[in-house]
Each structure stands twice: as C-alpha cells, then as structure tokens.
C-alpha cells in the first residue's frame, strides 16, 4: 500500500480532498504498527499516516486535561505527563509499545486499568477529525464538564479508521498514585472465583483485577495454575499494607472452606518483577523477543459478561491458551501459534463466548489453508443497520478502510 505522511494539517486536508475527488479508497493510520490486524482493507487503498501530526498542544495540569495531536506516540505523552506526576490511565497495548494516541482511540481496546479508570472513551473529552470529504470537524471540548453537541468521541472510539481520520484529541489525565503494589494470587479456579467476586464488590478498588489462565502463568515462569493479578494503589504505604493484609485474610478464609488445606499462593513481586509480569500479560516471553507479536499467529479478543467469566475460564475450548481477562469488564486477550490452536477451536471458542452472552474478535490469524476464506474478524452486530447508516453519512463514497467496518462481517468492499 502507498503510504503518505503529511507533515501539516493543511497538507493532510489537501490530500484528503484530492482522494475524495478521485473516490480513491484510503486508510487513516497512526504509526502503522497494527494496520493489517482485523479484516483486510481493499487492495490499492492509500494509507494516510498521522505520524507527522505529533505533539502536545496544551496541558492544563491543574485541570487534569491534555490536548494532543493524534500522531503523538503514547510513550511520549506518558513521559511528558510524568514530569507533572500525571498519567493517561491506559495500559500499553498488546504486543509492541509502539502506538499513537489516534490509533489507540481508533481501536478502542483497553486493558486491566479499565477496572478503576474506565475505558478510553470515558477519558476522551474532545475530538477533532477530518471527514472523508476533507472537512474538519470538532466535538466535545477541552474541559471536563462539557455537554455541547453530538458525542462523536464515543462514536470514533473503536471505529477502526472507518468513519474519519482523528487529528487531535483532548483527554482527561490522572495523578500518578504515590504508592503502588502488585499482588499475585495463584491457585485453583474454584478458590480464585469467590475471591475474585469478593474483590469486585469490596471497597478496596484495585486498579486492576486481571485473571490469567494457567498456560499464561506458566509462560511467565510461574506455577501451572490460574492466577489473579491485582494492582493496588494509594496515597500512602500503610493503607496498602492494610489492604494486602485484608485480602490475604479473605484468601485464607476462603481456602479453608471445603478444600483440604492451603491452596493459594500469594506473592508481592517487586516493581521490576511486576513490570515484567505485566509485559507477559501483553504477550512478551520472559527473556525473549522484544516484539512478542511476531510469535503469535492468533490474537483473539474475548468478551463475556463479568458474571460469566469464571464459566468461560473453566471451558474446555480454552485449554492450553494463554489468556488474560479483566474481571471487572469481562474483556481480555488470548493468543497462540497456529500449530497450538487449530481453526476449529477458535470457531468453537467463538460459539462459547456467544452462548455466554459475549463475543470473540479475531484480531490476527494465520494464513488460511488453500480454499478457505479467513475467519471473519467479527460477526454482524445487532446494530448493523445503524452502523451502516452512520457509515453512509460519514463516508458516502465508502472510501475509508473499505472492506473493514466494525460490527459488519462483510461490508461493501
Ligand atoms: C490493553 C490493550 C490491548 C490492545 N490489544 C490490541 C490488539 O490486540 N490488537 C490491536 O490491533 N490493537 C490492540 N490495542 C490497541 C492498540 O493500542 C492499537 O491497535 C495501536 O495503538 C495502533 O497504533 P498505531 O498508531 O500504530 O495505529 P495503526 O496501526 O496505524 O492503526 C491501527 C488502526 O487504527 C486506525 N487509526 C490509526 N490512527 C488513526 C487516526 N488518527 N484516525 C482514525 N483512525 C486511525 C487505523 O485505520 C487502524 O484501523 C490494544 C490496546 C490496549 C490498551
């Protein structure tokens, strides 16, 4: 695909106007790190990268808001915010850390921090975008209290570049908690389940309560048992110690139930080990390749109602699959190489998620065998007619990300 990287907004706007006049299909892009994930876009599409539109436009540290150009890398933004002891409360994405803010929002996928800080769309206060006809539009604003106009922020989050090119966003920032601790609790699902449910309803409000499958725990160098990975944060260390003691007491109480004896293993890794564990939850192999995405042919996003998470984890369809799920949202990622996960099992897993009231998105898949079409990345959503109507409004010539429309299994292409 031909990639254009305009260096100014007016250059970008000119190119979009020209593509519109020619009705050429094109794909909005950030750093281009994951463009080929999901359904293929029409051959011959031009890639318009927002990489040249980078930089922090305004940081109101006192108001906890930041306005940033879409092509700004996430790590650059986090570094700048850290000087003010603030951060954008999102996880690093699965695979390499390379990601632009626009790409992050366009994919709309968040991780375990959603437990305490909510999803990306909830942190988005304002957006500026370039429509398919080259017209610049704005929605929301630069302040936290804002009720004006249509909520295009939520519409564009997770739009996969199919509606417009995001040029600038205003986001809510958070203070970096002065104290953080990671707690790993490993043991049988039967004991982790009541503990996980108790944690979700407790007043401890951890930053994350991630549930890992046994194969992921093993890949990270731990025992071959599932685990709960908790991120605790507070303003002082004493409060954290009290929280840890409270969770440990509850764990002991639960494991002394019907089981024969102590079954849970609790550990508090130091910050370095905790960071390495979190990286394993994003697909890194300890001591392995810096870009884990290279090793996984399959990358699946699974989602079920949180109440069904434990049933999903116990399903035979998941056997052998490294998987991390956020307990509060019921959303997570699983991955495997082609030899370890035959296609029919992915189809079975999709059916299982649907039976439980959820869905499975195929983000990445191996080349299908000769004569087979790739698995659809997603199936038709119940709101398909509405999605298609919106698409026609935003992009009447079907230029943007042609062939890839979230919630529509086989869009016009
Ligand atoms: C915990 C977590 C897990 C994640 N897991 C995955 C994952 O498994 N797979 C995955 O693909 N992503 C995942 N993401 C999202 C991931 O962060 C983005 O895919 C990534 O940031 C893309 O970055 P990029 O700038 O290189 O975008 P690109 O690779 O250039 O583009 C990615 C997508 O975003 C669109 N896009 C990019 N920039 C813009 C823009 N300015 N305006 C409109 N559309 C745009 C593109 O059309 C394309 O569909 C995850 C995020 C989190 C937080």
**Could you give all domains of the chain from N- to C-terminal order, each with its CATH number?**
3-175 (3.30.465.10), 179-280 (3.30.70.610), 296-364 (3.30.70.260)
4 alpha carbon – ligand 1 mean position (Å): 18
Average pLDDT over residues 222-239: 94
| pLDDT of 283 over the 60 cut | yes
Among residues 125, 110, 128, the alpha carbon closest in space to that of 166 is found at 128
Maximum C-alpha span of the chain: 73
- Residue 120 CA: nearest ligand 1 atom is 53
Confidence at residue 21, expressed as pLDDT on a 0 to 100 scale:
97
254 pLDDT tier (thresholds 50, 70, 90): confident
253 pLDDT tier (thresholds 50, 70, 90): confident
Please tell me if the CB atom of residue 93 comes closer than 6 angstroms to any atom of ligand 1. Answer: yes
Total Cβ atoms within 10 A of residue 403: 18
- End-to-end, the C-alpha distance of the chain in Å comes to 16
Confidence at residue 228, expressed as pLDDT on a 0 to 100 scale:
96
| pLDDT of 259 over the 80 cut | no
DSSP element (H, E) containing 188: none
Confidence at residue 291, expressed as pLDDT on a 0 to 100 scale:
54
| pLDDT of 289 over the 90 cut | no
Confidence at residue 256, expressed as pLDDT on a 0 to 100 scale:
63
Strands of 26-29's sheet, edge to edge? 3-4, 46-49, 26-29
93 alpha carbon – ligand 1 mean position (Å): 8
Please tell me if the CB atom of residue 163 comes closer than 6 angstroms to any atom of ligand 1. Answer: no
250 alpha carbon – ligand 1 mean position (Å): 39
- Residue 100 CA: nearest ligand 1 atom is 25
Average pLDDT over residues 117-141: 91
| pLDDT of 293 over the 90 cut | no
260 pLDDT tier (thresholds 50, 70, 90): low
| φ/ψ (deg, to 5) at 168 | -155, 145
Confidence at residue 110, expressed as pLDDT on a 0 to 100 scale:
82
110 alpha carbon – ligand 1 mean position (Å): 11
Distance of CA 130 to the CA centre of its chain: 24
Confidence at residue 146, expressed as pLDDT on a 0 to 100 scale:
54
Confidence at residue 144, expressed as pLDDT on a 0 to 100 scale:
57
Using CA positions, which residue lies closest to atom 9 of ligand 1? Answer: 363
108 alpha carbon – ligand 1 mean position (Å): 8
Q: Which residues of 352-383 are buried (b: 16+ CB within 10 A; e: fewer)?
A: bbeebebbbbbbbbeeeeeeeeebebbeeeee
d(CA 37, CA 5): 20
Average pLDDT over residues 374-398: 95
89 pLDDT tier (thresholds 50, 70, 90): very high
Average pLDDT over residues 175-194: 94
Please tell me if the CB atom of residue 362 comes closer than 6 angstroms to any atom of ligand 1. Answer: no
Token duo for residue 281: 């939850």
Confidence at residue 285, expressed as pLDDT on a 0 to 100 scale:
80
| pLDDT of 303 over the 90 cut | yes
Scanning 256-355, the segments in alpha helix (DSSP H) are 271-280, 309-313, 343-355
Token duo for residue 95: 């695979």
CB 312 within 8 A of CB 189: no
Confidence at residue 118, expressed as pLDDT on a 0 to 100 scale:
84
Average pLDDT over residues 328-332: 93
Average pLDDT over residues 260-282: 88
Residue carrying structure tokens 């092509």: 71
CB 213 within 8 A of CB 116: no
| pLDDT of 211 over the 90 cut | yes
218 alpha carbon – ligand 1 mean position (Å): 28
Confidence at residue 355, expressed as pLDDT on a 0 to 100 scale:
97
The per-residue pLDDT of the chain, averaged, comes to: 91
Give the pLDDT confidence of 15-57 residue by residue, as tens digits.
999 999 999 999 999 999 999 889 999 999 999 999 999 999 9
More confident residue, 147 or 63: 63
d(CA 65, CA 69): 14
d(CA 158, CA 82): 26
235 alpha carbon – ligand 1 mean position (Å): 32
Among residues 350, 410, 359, the alpha carbon closest in space to that of 384 is found at 410
145 pLDDT tier (thresholds 50, 70, 90): low
Burial of 43 from C-beta contacts in 10 A (0-12 / 13-18 / 19+): exposed
Distance of CA 192 to the CA centre of its chain: 24
Confidence at residue 166, expressed as pLDDT on a 0 to 100 scale:
97
d(CA 280, CA 262): 27
Please tell me if the CB atom of residue 160 comes closer than 6 angstroms to any atom of ligand 1. Answer: yes
- Residue 35 CA: nearest ligand 1 atom is 29
| pLDDT of 292 over the 80 cut | no
Out of 38, 69, 103, give the residue to mutate to test ligand 1, the one with the largest number of ligand atoms within 8 Å of its CB: 103
412 pLDDT tier (thresholds 50, 70, 90): confident
Among residues 388, 384, 362, the alpha carbon closest in space to that of 375 is found at 362
Q: Which residues of 217-246 are buried (b: 16+ CB within 10 A; e: fewer)?
A: bebbebeebbbbbbbbbbeeeeebeebbee
| pLDDT of 196 over the 60 cut | yes
| pLDDT of 72 over the 90 cut | yes
Average pLDDT over residues 307-329: 93
């Amino acid at each position: 695909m031909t990639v254009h990287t305009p260096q100014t907004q007016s250059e970008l706007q000119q190119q979009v106007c020209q593509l519109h006049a020619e009705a050429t299909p094109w794909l909005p892009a950030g750093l281009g790190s994951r463009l080929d994930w999901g359904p293929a876009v029409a051959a011959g599409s031009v890639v318009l990268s927002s990489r040249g539109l980078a930089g922090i436009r305004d940081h109101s540290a006192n108001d906890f808001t930041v306005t940033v150009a879409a092509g700004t890398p996430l790590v650059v933004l986090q570094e700048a915010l850290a000087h003010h002891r603030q951060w954008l409360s999102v996880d690093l994405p699965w695979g390499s850390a390379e990601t632009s803010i626009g790409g992050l929002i366009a994919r709309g996928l968040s991780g375990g921090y959603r437990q305490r800080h909510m999803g990306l769309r909830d942190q988005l206060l304002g957006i500026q975008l370039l429509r398919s006809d080259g017209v610049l539009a704005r929605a929301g604003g630069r302040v936290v209290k804002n009720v004006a106009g249509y909520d295009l922020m939520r519409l564009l989050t997770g739009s996969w570049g199919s509606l417009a090119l995001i040029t600038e966003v205003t986001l809510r920032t958070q203070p970096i908690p002065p104290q953080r601790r990671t707690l790993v609790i490993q043991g049988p699902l039967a004991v982790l389940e009541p503990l996980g449910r108790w944690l979700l309803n407790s007043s401890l409000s951890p930053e994350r309560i991630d549930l890992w499958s046994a194969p992921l725990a093993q890949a990270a160098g731990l025992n071959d048992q599932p685990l709960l990975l908790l991120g605790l944060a507070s303003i002082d260390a004493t409060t954290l110690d009290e929280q840890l003691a409270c969770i440990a007491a509850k764990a002991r109480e639960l494991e002394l139930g019907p089981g024969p004896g102590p079954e849970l293993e609790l550990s508090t890794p130091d910050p370095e080990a905790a960071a390495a564990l979190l990286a394993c939850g994003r697909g890194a192999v300890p001591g392995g390749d810096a870009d884990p995405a290279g090793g996984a042919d399959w990358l699946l996003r699974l989602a079920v109602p949180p109440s069904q998470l434990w049933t999903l984890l116990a399903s035979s369809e998941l056997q052998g699959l490294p998987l991390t799920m956020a307990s509060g949202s019921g959303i997570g990622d699983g991955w495997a190489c082609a030899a370890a996960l035959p296609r029919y099992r992915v189809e079975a897993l999709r059916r299982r998620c649907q039976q439980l009231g959820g869905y499975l998105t195929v983000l990445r898949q191996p080349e299908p065998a000769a004569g087979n079409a790739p698995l659809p990345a997603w199936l038709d959503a119940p709101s398909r007619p509405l999605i298609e109507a919106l698409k026609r409004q935003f992009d009447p010539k079907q230029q943007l990300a042609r062939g890839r429309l979230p919630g529509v299994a086989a869009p016009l292409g």
